[in-house]
A = this chain, B = another copy of it.
Amino acid sequence: MEFGKLFGVGVGPGDFELLTLKAVRILEFADVIAVPFSGNGERTAFNIVKKYIEKKEILECFLPMTRDTKRLEECYDKAAFDIKELLLKGLNVAFITLGDPCIYSTYMKIHRKILNMGFAAEIVPGITSFSAAAAKTGTSLCEGKENLTVLSALSNYTDEIEKISGNLVIMKSGKQIGKIKKLIKDKGLDKNFIMVECCGMENEKIYYNVDDIDENASYFSTIILKESDIL
């Protein structure tokens, strides 16, 4: 019997129509769908693909949002162990992840653990939240000589907003959103700003005015901040 294979499948930011043909094929092909959940909305990935995975076996992977790295590592080990048990039985596993697996995704740790155990693993790229937010608002992310820097609220975003050399995308702003709002206003970048909350989801909201930002906005908020005014 051959061992199964792991697929890390990017499901895009929210709209099921932003799934790729390959993502749909792999979801239909897989025997088991591994679904991460964190207690913080991570079932979003499941909701995007649910029409393609009816009747499939589901493996729930608990990957909490915590700064306790030891606890987190134990959870990743547990998820990788559970996936390995399925691969040993010859089952193919699709691990779904919001957006793109290579951009701020919890999937990569699982990917490396499974490869290190000697199993095969493949990544299926997905539409990023920033591509979707840019498309939705008709905003280019970079043209000609412009750079684009992608940051998360864990990154050194203060420095990047201060110096604003090139265009910025700030993902997963979460609890930092009030601080980011203040920085944007202090730097006078109000006209260079767009934010999309929950892009492509039912509760999508677009902010063109930095003053309108709700400081309790979703973790799934993507800010585009351009070096020059947004056209």
List the interface of chain A (C-beta within 8 A of B).
10, 12, 15-22, 24-25, 100-105, 108, 111-112, 115, 121-128, 131-132, 134-136, 138-152, 154-156, 160, 166, 231
Contact = CB atoms under 8 A, between A and B. Distances in A.
A201 to B, nearest CB: 15
The A interface is mostly helix, strand or loop, or mixed, namely mixed
* Oligomer: number of copies: 2
Nearest to A19: B21
Contacts of A135: 10, 100-102, 122-125
24 contacts: A10-B135, A17-B22, A17-B25, A18-B20, A18-B21, A18-B22, A18-B125, A20-B20, A100-B134, A102-B131, A102-B140, A103-B140, A103-B141, A105-B140, A108-B140, A123-B136, A127-B127, A142-B152, A147-B160, A148-B150, A149-B149, A149-B150, A149-B166, A150-B150
B150 A142 contact: yes
Given A19-B21, A102-B135, 14 more contacts: A17-B21, A21-B21, A100-B134, A100-B135, A102-B140, A104-B143, A105-B140, A108-B140, A125-B131, A145-B155, A146-B155, A147-B149, A147-B151, A150-B150
